[in-house]
Amino acid sequence: MLEIKNLHVELEEEDKAILKGVDLSVEAGRVHAIMGPNGSGKSTLSYVLSGRDGYEVTDGSAMLEGDDILGMEPEERAAAGLFLAFQYPVEIPGVGNMTFMRTALNAQRKARGEDEISASDFLKLVRAKATELQIDADMLKRPVNVGFSGGEKKRNEILQMAILEPKMCILDETDSGLDVDAMKLVAEGVNALRSQGRAFLVITHYQRLLDHIKPDVVHIMVDGRIVKSGGPELAQEVEKNGYADIMAEVA
Ligand SMILES: Nc1ncnc2c1ncn2[C@@H]1O[C@H](COP(=O)(O)OP(=O)(O)OP(=O)(O)O)[C@@H](O)[C@H]1O
């Protein structure tokens, strides 16, 4: 599904290398997790994949189902099936949450040559998904993320994901700021979307999210590279011993 080869990325303004040769292959139907110390480049990877400004790809490639996504505009990447749940979801004053999600869904349907969803079908869809995520009907009427608590913003990201049904879902520290019950809801939301045709890349610092979203593969990123990959036991090792042993191994 997602094939990243030797990806090198610099900050445009500072010529500072952040990603220094990332290789990562996420197969359809699988959940991969990325852990790693602060500042190792995990969010940068998710930003570069989704097309955020400010980063320059100096080498390497990233393909989504065989298509080069790095040459696409952000909205083309979204239409191709890529979704990023932000670490810091942005507030959009003046844009209603429902309008935002319906417009996003219809833009993607249009790009895929499908008919727009009717207002009544959309209402049914969003209500059903919001109920699953225990998102209050009031939050759907408010402007996107404005005045939402940290945890509510994260759940709203998962609601968007559930509505857009992307193929490649990237979750950047969606667990941070969530209470234990909200984390379970988010994990259930992710687990409900798991399917043969969809893959997940879950960036997290904590084993506890991975207790609920059981990953197939866990990667450790250090200083802009994936230095170790393994099964879920790797996350348990990190939880117990931190990164010191892994960093010493690869030094
Ligand atoms: N726009 C920017 N301007 C300056 N430095 C940046 C910028 N974007 C990223 N960096 C730097 O790049 C490095 C990688 O940052 P990134 O946010 O990708 O790390 P991370 O692994 O997601 O960290 P964390 O676990 O703390 O969220 C950091 O040293 C960060 O300060």
Q: To test the ligand 1 pocket, which listed residue (8, 11, 13) has its Cβ within 8 A of the most ligand atoms?
A: 11
Q: Which pLDDT tens digit goes with each residue over 170-201? A: 999 988 888 888 888 889 888 988 999 999 99
Is the pLDDT reported for residue 251 higher than 80?
no
31-54 pLDDT per residue, tens: 999 999 999 999 999 999 999 999
* Closest approach atom of ligand 1 to CA 87: 27
What is the mean predicted confidence (pLDDT) over 81-95? Answer: 93
Write down the pLDDT at residue 246: 87
What is the number of the ligand 1 atom nearest to the C-alpha of 36? 21
pLDDT 10s digits, 67-84:
999 999 999 999 999 999
- Beta-carbon neighbour count of residue 66 at 10 Å? 7
The set of protein residues with a Cβ atom below 6 angstroms from ligand 1 is: 11, 18, 36, 38-44, 54
Q: What is the pTM of this model?
A: 0.93
Q: Over the chain, what is the mean pLDDT?
A: 92
The pairing of beta strand 82-85 with beta strand 16-26? unpaired
157-161: long-range contacts (C-beta < 8 A, 24 or more apart)?
157/85, 157/86, 157/89, 158/85, 158/133, 158/186, 158/189, 158/190, 159/101, 159/126, 159/129, 159/130, 159/133, 159/135, 159/189, 160/83, 160/85, 160/101, 160/104, 161/83, 161/85, 161/189, 161/193
Instruction: For strands 67-68 and 55-64, give the pairing.
Output: antiparallel
Q: Which residue in 191, 182, 159 sits closest to 89, CA to CA?
A: 159
- What proportion of the chain, given as a percentage, has pLDDT over 90? 73
Closest C-alpha to ligand 1, atom 7: 11
Query: 216 CB contacts (<8 Å, ≥6 apart)?
Result: 30, 31, 32, 231
DSSP string, 31-94: EEEEE--TTSSHHHHHHHHHT-TTEEEEEEEEEETTEE-TTS-HHHHHHTTEEEE-SSPPPEEE
Report CA dihedral (67, 71, 75, 79) to the nearest 10 degrees.
Answer: -10
2-249 under CATH 3.40.50.300, yes or no = yes
For the segment 126-163, what is each residue's pLDDT rounded down to a tens digit?
Answer: 999 998 888 888 889 899 999 998 888 988 999 999 99
Of the pLDDT bands very low, low, confident and very high (cuts 50, 70, 90), residue 247 is confident
Residue 208 has pLDDT above 90, yes or no: no
Nearest ligand 1 atom, CA 37: 25
Angle between helices 150-164 and 180-193 (to 10 degrees): 10
Residue 24's pLDDT is: 97
Distance 131 CA to ligand 1 centre (A): 35
Nearest ligand 1 atom to alpha carbon 46: 18
ipTM score above 0.90 = yes
199 with 27: CB under 8 angstroms? yes
117 CA to centre of ligand 1 in angstroms: 38
